[in-house]
Structure 1
Amino acid sequence: MRTDSVAPAAPQYIENGLIKGRLALEYQLSAARDNFDPTINSVPAVLDQIKVSKLLVDHNLILVPSDKNLGCALITKEWFLEQAYAHLANPNSYRKISETEAIEVINEAARMSLALAGHKYVLIKDENVLKATPRFYIIPKIHKSPWKGRPIVPAHSAVHSPAAKLVSMMLKPLVNRQPYIIRGSKEFIQSISAIRFYKEERNRIFIVGGDIEAYYPNVPKGKASQIVKEMMDDDPRQSEENFGSFFEECLDVANSTVVMRFQDDWYVQTDGLSMGVAHAPDMANLYGSYYENKIIPALGSDILYYGRYIDDVFFIVHANNADSALKLCQNLVIDGVNIIWEPAKQYGVFLDVRLWIGENSIGHRPHQKIGNHLERVPWISSHPLDVKKGTFMGELSRLATLCSDSHLYYEACTDLRSLYIHRGYPSNLVNSWYNTYASRFWQDCLNGERPPPRDVQVLRSVFNQVWEFVDISAVQDAVREQWDKDLTWARLGGLSHVPPTLNKPLLVARKRTMNLGDLVSRMRKIVLDYNDVPDELGREVTDFWKS
């Protein structure tokens, strides 16, 4: 866990190298003073926030991101409240509580969190935990007809969030060992591309998909916790001192009841995995794996492929007819949850891929969900050119992975090129990127020669025009040259004496600044017109936390 303490003094050769690096950086930045363009602004800086706020309030409108990252959606306050209250009215998932009970629940979670403070991996900081209580809200599923609301509880600021993050970190190796968990489209495509069958069998190969209905809220939390603890009993890390007891203690804290607010009311989630906490996806994955690991192997060789991505299950099966294929798949039963099955067909959609049964293999291409706005970083944005180019190249790489033949790939690339030009990108620039990289990505994918990921040190920063004047490699070279000089003079073997982690090349990772979505989410409070927590209540819980 990150701390706020100052790093201890480093050996003198390290300090000397950092001084040289600082001088090299300052020299580069001196050029920025004369070439910096003050007219480049981010969206919030040039946006008339007063006019936007007035527009939303006058018409009772809320601008929110949609489900599945399909773009922003403009919804009415009435629809937002109607969908939210419909979810909160479900007694199997939520219960309305008083302010007094809310404080008691939060305080209990605080006590449990404080009990972890003695462990070397945990840092407890004073927090205004009541004001950090998550706010329940709704985002629209615009790919459904009619639109439906998806409940969101951003519990990253909840009092037990640090414990949940620790649990998630400890569960990741266990999750990665599960055979049926899909970790992304690339892994999925690699698996199904290996499936082969005779042409004569084609009519007996079926695709069957299913959706686990409201997965997180319906997973029995107590049973899931017990299953995960038993799985962890067999983990090699149990040989580490106190690992098992510390994990179970963290898990108990992470599973604390989430207190949430909606408008001026307080709610708790009554059962199921808490939404929005860091370890919930890992718990859900392991709970499903417990049943899959028993059932799927027992179904026999007619299961050509099975995988699950969180709450979406996917089968490719061999059967005499569609009814038999569906019946075979329905043997998968995960206790406590309901799987809504799609009919067995010779085509289907999974994740962002459209699939079909080919002559002797599975065909696949990218799939565009209904309602997708095809939003892209527009040319007029203040993103640096290398970011815009990198985004385009990333999409070419994705298309190469998702297409089963070159005709489909180049057809998708043509659509992508047209999309970027319609978003304002100069056609000659887009064509240059396309001509340089499109065929290269397809050949790399075809030959399986994707370069391995570089082992780098990540320098975390934000989007800033100043990076256009900084050559981070030159700065690092200045540092390493001084280290080599000092260590060679001291007969310590030059750079070979430097810890390996310090010899890795630096890579600047730029986090985006505030955008329009962030801005309008703040305006949501104005439209919904709810009250903040009274100051005296905030002080009451804060005083407990500090005590």
Structure 2
Amino acid sequence: MHLFTDIRSRYGQHTVKSIRDLENTVKKIARYQQHLTFTHRCKDNGITPSSLRISCPINTEKARNIIRKAEKDLVGERIWVVRNKINVLERKSELQKQKTLNTDDRHHVDLHIVNKRESEGTKTKQRHKVKLERLKVKHETKQKSNYLTEPDLSVSVDKIPHEEYIVACESVCSKLPTEDAKSLRTEIAGMLKSAKPPKSNISKQERVALNALKKEKEIMVMGADKGKCIVVQNKKEYESKVKEMLNDHNTYEKLTKDPTPGYKRKLVEILKRLKTENKINESQYRLLYPTAENTPRMYCTTKIHKQGNPIRPIVDYTGSIGYQTSKALAEILAPLVGTTEHHVVNSKSLAEEMTAIMIDDGDILNSHDVVSLFTNTPIEKALDVIKDRLLNDKTLNQRTNLNPDDAIALLEFICTTTYFSFRGQIYRQIFGAAMGSPVSAILANLFMEWLEREAIATSSLDCKPKLWRRYVDDVLEIIQKDSTQKLTDHLNSIDPTGNIKFTFEEDHQGKIPFLDTLIVRKEDGSLKLLVYRKKTHTDQYLNFQSQHPLHQKLGVIRTLMDRMENIVTEEADKKEEEVKIRNALRKCGYPKWSLDRVKQQIKNKQPKQRKKNKESETPSKGMVVLPYVEGVAEQAQRIFKKYGISTAMRPTNTLKSILVHPKDKKDITQTSDIVYDIPCKSCKKSYIGETGRQFGVKACLYYDDNYNYTR
């Protein structure tokens, strides 16, 4: 400030103004120079700055390539333009320099100008550095193999979830004597008061990347259809793919209004009739009554293991009017599934059976797979099949008072009222069953049992399978050579609607995958089994540094070791599989002692027995589910144990919960099964209540000018 006061007194205001103009010019030069450096860095990293990005109006790969080339050319053009601007400003600054100043004043002014230039350059550099790092994160995310590993990784929390621990405590206090409940509250409160968050299990850079992904609106982060990985894809491409699927007018139709009220009335009419006829009691009626009225929401997962990465639609029925009815029907119908000789229970039972089979020289291993079984299952035929099975079910009256007609009436309602929302538009599924409804898997399974029975009974001798084993829509066969296509054509002719279509895969070099097994034909015609991993398998399991309790991490090892023991049939292959398991888990951070401990436990088979005996001796007075926070959850577990309360741990803050949000967001008024707080506008009082209905419906009963509801 003194510099300009002196200059003004000696040379006048005009000179001060000229120096200020020079100062602004050199600050511009500093900004442009940093901008030039930033643009060069973007070019070197193959990144397009946000201001130069072009929206692609045509959804084709050729159009996207044109856009990418245009963006690259724009980056080069910007470099040329900025460089020219710097040259122009440099010449301007030379003309603005004061030649009327004496030597000392010129020295002080030059020093001031240099400082201003450096200061402006530093500020701009820091700003561009942050911007470049953010662009790099986004760019690297898009350039990766399209899936992030370890989706179940639980990130350490910054804050202890006190409320959840208190709620867990209160949920069991009513089951304890008054003094014990008071003592339990005191101990839990004291523990929470001194509890501290655990050390972060991810780096600062990883947190920055997570925050950048959370804020990124141009991409969708999804769980893969199969395998432990996360798919990252362009949001517009995802939505375009889903809408293309929904444009299939043979399967879906758009609705102009929400059908929930009408469907609810139909369901209530059926339930009232069943209650009047004493086929369901009061408690069953209350359970099945559609209190919650959430519109089901549809999302899709990507089948990265299949060519073209097709999508699988899944409907979230939780809280919908038919959800409880669908669950009840699933319990009634479940015993009907798997009663045929062709049913595969699991990989272990398959391995036990296959080791006793010999294949003749003229036979091959073959597999068939149904294309989109759920959405192609003919509902009318499936209902006929299930009704026939119920009429012949001698144990139905032991599970329910409903007769076959009653069960079919409820099932028909559930299957013919499939609707959902996607991006604000409501659709109805007019053909097939929706994956996500509790009863859909059973309906599809029972239909497949009918179809396989018809297919095997009507197949000609030259393509009749010598072995047929099925798990839902996957079929393993032993058939004659050169009969695959004929059998496939026959299978595709069984469904009267023509929608059920099979694809096939023949064995390659005597090997064929089925479920998670690889069946290998030996030279003598016998079979051996190995563990099968798809090409998209990432070898990523729950990381040992994840915020999960130790027994869950050891459970990962035990699961892999048990699979090895149950599936792999030869000792040499078991040793090779164990090496693969150890190498994969080592990369996931598992120490050697953890693997050795589990192996010893499996060998002894003692811990489970001891645990079983201990639990039988001391029956639990209740159970709580605690959010796992390292150090805190273990301490809480010891406290609850003193009072005879069992505990279970659930992970919090997983990558999936942070990043994966494929479904439409629900408005607060559409939320059900909540505790709500409605504060008064006129005073400090508020109304606290609980409802299973949609909050918007409940709030209307209380809302007036004096209340402003909040969740």
Fold match, TM over 0.5?
A: yes
- Alignment-derived partner of residue 341 in structure 1: 504
- Alignment-derived partner of residue 379 in structure 1: 544
Residue deviations 1:35-62 (CA, integer Å, cap 9, x gap)? 9752238999x99999746545546011
- Alignment-derived partner of residue 262 in structure 1: 422
C-alpha spacing 1:325/1:539, structure 2 compared with 1 (3 Å): closer
Equivalent position to 2:533, from 343, 368, 373: 368
- 1:256-335 counterparts in 2 under 5 A? 256-296=416-456, 303-317=465-479, 319=480, 322-324=481-483, 327-328=486-487, 331-332=490-491, 334-335=494-495
Equivalent position to 2:241, from 83, 92, 115: 83
Equivalent position to 1:468, from 634, 654, 657: 634
SS at match of 2:395: helix
Deviation at 1:252, TM superposition (A): 3.0
Question: What is the total number of aligned residue pairs between the two structures?
Answer: 480
| Separation (CA, whole Å) in 2 of partners of 1:297 and 1:398 | 35
**Structure 2: runs of 5 or more not aligned:** 1-172, 671-692, 702-711
Corresponding letter in the other structure for 1:353:
T
- Alignment-derived partner of residue 119 in structure 2: none
Deviation at 1:287, TM superposition (A): 0.8
Q: Kindly indicate whether residue 560 of structure 2 is the aligned counterpart of residue 395 of structure 1.
A: yes
| Separation (CA, whole Å) in 2 of partners of 1:352 and 1:143 | 13
SS at match of 1:414: helix
Contact 1:32 1:469 in 2 (8 A): no
Contact 2:369 2:503 in 1 (8 A): yes
| Separation (CA, whole Å) in 1 of partners of 2:483 and 2:444 | 29
Contact 2:174 2:181 in 1 (8 A): no
Q: Kindly indicate whether residue 683 of structure 2 is the aligned counterpart of residue 521 of structure 1.
A: no
Q: Kindly indicate whether residue 580 of structure 2 is the aligned counterpart of residue 420 of structure 1.
A: no
- Alignment-derived partner of residue 211 in structure 1: 369
Greater length-normalized contact order (CA 8 Å, ≥ 6 residues apart): 1
SS at match of 1:363: strand
Corresponding letter in the other structure for 1:86:
E
| Separation (CA, whole Å) in 2 of partners of 1:100 and 1:134 | 11
Contact 2:296 2:419 in 1 (8 A): yes
SS at match of 2:483: helix
Contact 2:488 2:502 in 1 (8 A): no
Contact 2:298 2:313 in 1 (8 A): yes
Corresponding letter in the other structure for 2:434:
S
- Alignment-derived partner of residue 188 in structure 1: 350
- Alignment-derived partner of residue 138 in structure 1: 300
Corresponding letter in the other structure for 2:583:
S
Corresponding letter in the other structure for 1:399:
M
- Alignment-derived partner of residue 515 in structure 2: 351
Q: Kindly indicate whether residue 188 of structure 2 is the aligned counterpart of residue 33 of structure 1.
A: no
Deviation at 1:190, TM superposition (A): 2.2
Deviation at 1:94, TM superposition (A): 0.5
SS at match of 1:323: coil
C-alpha spacing 1:148/1:36, structure 2 compared with 1 (3 Å): farther
Contact 2:351 2:569 in 1 (8 A): no
Corresponding letter in the other structure for 2:380:
G
- Alignment-derived partner of residue 228 in structure 2: 70
Corresponding letter in the other structure for 1:183:
V
Corresponding letter in the other structure for 1:279:
V
Contact 1:139 1:151 in 2 (8 A): yes
Corresponding letter in the other structure for 1:419:
A
Deviation at 1:250, TM superposition (A): 2.8
| Separation (CA, whole Å) in 2 of partners of 1:416 and 1:251 | 44
Contact 2:288 2:325 in 1 (8 A): no
Q: Kindly indicate whether residue 433 of structure 2 is the aligned counterpart of residue 433 of structure 1.
A: no
SS at match of 2:226: helix
Residue deviations 1:331-364 (CA, integer Å, cap 9, x gap)? 4454141111223553211111111212342121
C-alpha spacing 1:257/1:302, structure 2 compared with 1 (3 Å): closer
C-alpha spacing 1:48/1:355, structure 2 compared with 1 (3 Å): closer
Contact 2:342 2:469 in 1 (8 A): yes
| Separation (CA, whole Å) in 2 of partners of 1:109 and 1:63 | 36
| Separation (CA, whole Å) in 1 of partners of 2:627 and 2:199 | 11
Contact 1:421 1:430 in 2 (8 A): no
Residue deviations 1:505-530 (CA, integer Å, cap 9, x gap)? x97543444522123234x57xx8x8
Corresponding letter in the other structure for 2:634:
E
Q: TM-score, normalised by structure 2?
A: 0.59
| Separation (CA, whole Å) in 1 of partners of 2:299 and 2:175 | 50
Deviation at 1:235, TM superposition (A): 1.0
- Alignment-derived partner of residue 247 in structure 1: 407
Residue deviations 1:45-89 (CA, integer Å, cap 9, x gap)? x99999746545546011110011331111110221121011101
Corresponding letter in the other structure for 1:84:
V
C-alpha spacing 1:102/1:92, structure 2 compared with 1 (3 Å): farther
Contact 1:181 1:285 in 2 (8 A): no
Residue deviations 1:288-309 (CA, integer Å, cap 9, x gap)? 1113234436768974431222
Deviation at 1:460, TM superposition (A): 5.8
| Separation (CA, whole Å) in 1 of partners of 2:475 and 2:180 | 52
Residue deviations 1:96-154 (CA, integer Å, cap 9, x gap)? 1112556544554555456556622332566451xx21222121111123322221211
- 1:48-197 counterparts in 2 under 5 A? 52=210, 55-58=213-216, 60-99=218-257, 104-105=262-263, 107-109=265-267, 111-112=269-270, 119-120=280-281, 121-122=284-285, 123-124=287-288, 127-129=291-293, 132-196=294-358
CA RMSD, 1 decimal: 4.3
C-alpha spacing 1:210/1:133, structure 2 compared with 1 (3 Å): same
